[in-house]
Structure 1
Amino acid sequence: MGIELPLEVVMPNASGWRHDLENMHRIVEENLHRNGGILFRGFDILGEAEFQEFAKSFGFPLLNYEFGSTPRTDLGEGVYTTTEYPAHQVIPLHNEQAYTLNWPMKIWFHCIQPAETEGETPIADSREVYRRIPTRIRERFEEKKLMYVRNYGNGLDLPWEKVFATTDPKQVEAFCRAHQIDFEWKGDGELRTRQICQSVACHPVTQEMVWFNQAHLFHVSNLEAHIRETLLSIVEEEDLPRNVYYGDGSPIEDGILDEIRGVLDECMVKFPWQKGDVLMLDNMLVAHARSRFTGPRKVVVAMAEPNC
């Protein structure tokens, strides 16, 4: 099947995007589950407030970025910056919050300012990724599941106060219990969490199987060799900011993760951002990434419709 680049919808006239909302909603209803992603172009949507209004028009309250794993700025009422990593870094393909048991079903990206060069938000059809992952790997991951281990703070990763949006350890513990997250307060007062999650999933509407995890991203092998060596000279493996194992705690082989990354690269689709673009994705059907870039770039994001 695969994504058709994604489906691109261009404004047919200059009457303004609000006058065409009914048509846009119909297009989403008819095409999102087939294509996985829809690119709205030329609709004169520009800026955080209009983007928020557009995203909310689909009928779901916008979600907070709970239990986040990357630095973002909260722009208010469900709109956030995309991950604030340096421009030279590539962010690999991933489905939003697939490292947990709770994720948004819908995600929107809005390009306010395209980069001077590159800066795309590449995408990939998670159904196609699932089909292309070698059967021996897919069955192994599906049987064992995945255990994500996170250590917060100490200047190495986001502090737990930022991730859980509180300074109260009791609220952190309550959140963890409610979301099946094991937690441990370490001797230095910092927090470690472990959570066993899915590696594949079945889409609740289409009933299609999708590759749905962030093992390739959380695993220590995702770090550049010199960064990995430096980190392991400072902390023990169990204290790395983030890592992932099979659900039984056994290590995931680097070679298997390399094969998975190869499949993701094969399935990647890129398109250049234009100012004002809005990309709407079904977060289970489509993974997204970020290319490196030069010059100023501003892309913001909103999420909605929790999976449970």
Structure 2
Amino acid sequence: MKELAFLEQGRISQKQILEDGSLFPMVLLPPDENPSIGSFLNAIHHNRDWIDNQLKRVGVLLFRGFPLRSASDFNAAVEAFGWEEHPYLGLASRTRIEGRVYTANEAPLDQPIKFHHEMAMFDEFPTKLIFFCEIAPPEGGQTAIVLSHKITQRMEQRYPELVKKLEKEGVTYPVSVPQEDDPQSFIKGWQSRYETDNKQEAERRLANSGFPVSKITWADDGRMSFEMGPIVSIRTVDGDADKRKAWFNPSALGKTTPMLGDGPLFPEDAIESFIQIIEEECVDITWEVGDVLVLDNRFVQHARRPSTPPRRVLAAFCK
């Protein structure tokens, strides 16, 4: 491994200790006070295999103290990691900034974004997410992370039959999309998302988008509603030696209660337990300018805490 000395391990105040004694997240720092972007990019490029292995083992890597300051710097870092781009297909409002770089979810900063795996509703989802802090918020705005298989383990102890049903049947979500963009919504309006004001054409484009959808209906105010699912709820990744079961259903997302694959509503007490468990197991990353946060999306969920402006975090999605 070349130039590995350039990546020194550090720690942050909030962390979890894994079974093998590793810290979650793994924090990687420069060895001196004046690192260059070129040296950082070379360290990433020459240590790709080591980085891959650490990411698979720990789940999250935080690169801190390096001189990345712009979307262009971040795009160069994304390319240096060497992972193939995964197209963004989710419902959140995002803007492509440069190259492979998007804005993170553009929902209002005073609203939280709850824990989820990125594009969990798709069979093919990005295996890696990369975030970059261009502007750190003055207060709040942490990105919270949690190991998803720990949620499954603890939910299985409390609700063994529910976990079995989730593995077998998945969950279905009722979704409601406004006609026009709503600045207070996490979801784009269907007219801008599907680039049409024709309802039949919007239905066709929704059906071809890769979402598992059914029961499309229309309200008098132009709102489109449909059921999304069943979504695979607990995933075991092929080749994972530990056969970890990732809690992959977004049961705490949105304002509506998901349904189990065979129809009954997801139990409210189970959702409350899920929220309690996830808050006990998670780690909040307080952003610093220049931070690069790499997540294994197969095993790690993430969330956004409310913040005061300004806050600018950029994102990239990798296969």
8 Å CA contact 1:17, 1:45 repeated in 2: no
Structural mapping, 1:222-233, within 5 Å: none
Asked if residue 296 in structure 1 is aligned to residue 310 in structure 2, the reply is yes
Superposed, 1:29-40 pairs within 5 Å as 29-40=52-63
Tell me the amino acid that sits aligned with residue 54 of structure 2.
N
1:5-84 mapped onto 2 (5 Å cutoff): 5-13=24-32, 14-15=35-36, 16-66=39-89, 68-84=90-106
Secondary structure of 2:263's partner?
A: coil
Name structure 2 gaps, 5 residues minimum. 1-17
SS in 2 for 1:65: coil
1:1-308 → structure 2 map (5 Å cutoff): 1=18, 4-13=23-32, 14-15=35-36, 16-66=39-89, 68-133=90-155, 134=158, 135-154=160-179, 157-164=187-194, 168-169=201-202, 172-173=205-206, 175-176=208-209, 179-182=211-214, 184=216, 186=218, 191-194=224-227, 195-206=229-240, 207-220=243-256, 244-305=258-319
- Give runs of ≥4 in structure 1 deviating > 4 Å: 164-168, 187-190
User: What SS does the aligned partner of 2:165 have?
Assistant: helix
Matched-pair contact (CA < 8 Å) for 1:64–1:78: no
After superposition, give the CA deviation of every residue in 1:16-70 in whole Å (9 maximum; x if it has no partner).
312322344243122111100101112222211221221133333323321x232
Provide the C-alpha distance between the structure 2 equivalents of 1:166 and 1:48, rounded to a whole number of angstroms. Answer: 31
Report the alpha carbon displacement of residue 179 of structure 1 after superposing the two structures with TM.
4.8
Q: Is the 8 A contact 1:148 1:245 kept in 2?
A: yes
Greater relative contact order, per chain length (Cα 8 Å cut-off, separation 6+): 1
**CA–CA distance in 1 between the matches of 2:193 and 2:258?**
18
- Counterpart CA distance in 1 for 2:215 and 2:100 is 27
Name the stretch that deviates more: 134-143 or 200-209: 134-143
Give the Å deviation of 1:253: 2.0
Normalised TM-score (structure 2): 0.79
Q: 1:153 to 1:62 in 2, by over 3 A?
A: same
Aligned partners of 1:52, 1:62: CA distance in 2, in Å? Answer: 11
Task: Give the unaligned 5+ runs of structure 1.
Answer: 221-242
Partners in 1 of 2:169 and 2:315 — Cα distance? Answer: 32
Instruction: Determine what percentage of the aligned residue pairs are the same residue.
Output: 25
RMSD between aligned alpha carbons?
2.5
